[in-house]
Amino acid sequence: MTDSAPPAVETTIAGVRSRLDAARSAGSTSALVPTMGSLHDGHLALVERAREIADVVIVSIFVNPMQFGPSEDFEKYPRDVDADRDALIGHGVTAVFAPEVDEIYPSGAVQIRVTAGAAGERFEGRSRPGHFDGMLTVVAKLLGIVQPHLAVFGEKDAQQVYLVQRMVRDLDIRTRIEVVETVRADDGLALSSRNQFLGERQRRAARAIPDALEAAQSAADRGLDAVIAAAQGVLMGADGVELDYFAVVRPDTFQPVDDDHRGPARALIAARVGETRLIDTELLHIG
């Protein structure tokens, strides 16, 4: 494949394994970038990082039904593998793994699944019950199918990243997890497939989310109370933004920090702007 040609598309487990077996025989290292498609510049940053650290880059595109709750419309999730493949031209991707649902779940709902435990029941897990169990199960399957040396994830989905890292560690999976910093648009909004659903006025309102994180970071040297007050001050004055949660957690446990916490911490925001639910995060150092 030349760098100007679209990457090959593999739709079967046997096909992607065969391609990777050949690469391993040649001594190549491999990286997996798991996605659900609708690729944007944030995804491409993950791909670029994968290309920097591995010889072979596989991008998976799979809309995982196990991640969708009863109120979330799996059928309406945007799917355009051809457009996604074209977006990857020139980015050094070896192949796209784009299986159908019955390739990943040939017997329907799986009986054995990975559970996120208590860490998956807070924050996003409280708003989307069962989401993280479905996410971890499919990531475990993808890591088992591809068996990459590395897998690349985006920092914006901080709880997902924490849980994947914990799963890999707890289950002794040999894949190393690489995390890429959040990619932001010029207005500060974290890149997300959901941003396309924001109207112009909603997009302006949504800027309160990164603004709140920036305010929290600026206040971090004055302690946790100042962090919370600074973020809430921005969010409370934002018309059209309905806050789900703002939280500050320990990066190593994802537990809420104590009132007297000093040191690294991660701020988390989830909010709804119109019908669109957005999440964002920022690493802090509370002084």
| Residue in the structure block whose two tokens are 């002794």 | 172
List 43, 91, 131, 149, catalytic entry: 43
Q: Is the dihedral of CA 113, 134, 124, 207 positive or negative?
A: positive
Q: Is 40 part of the annotated catalytic residue set?
A: no
Q: What is the DSSP string of 60-128?
A: EE---GGG--TTS-GGGS---HHHHHHHTTTTT--EEE---HHHH-TTSS-SS----GGGGSSTHHHHS
| Residue in the structure block whose two tokens are 């924001």 | 198
- Cα atoms found within 13 Å of the Cα of residue 176, Cβ hemisphere only: 9
In angstroms, the CA 33 to CA 255 distance is 27
Residue 65 CB neighbours (<10 A): 15
Backbone torsions φ then ψ of 104, nearest 5 degrees? -85, -35
The residues annotated as belonging to the active site are 43
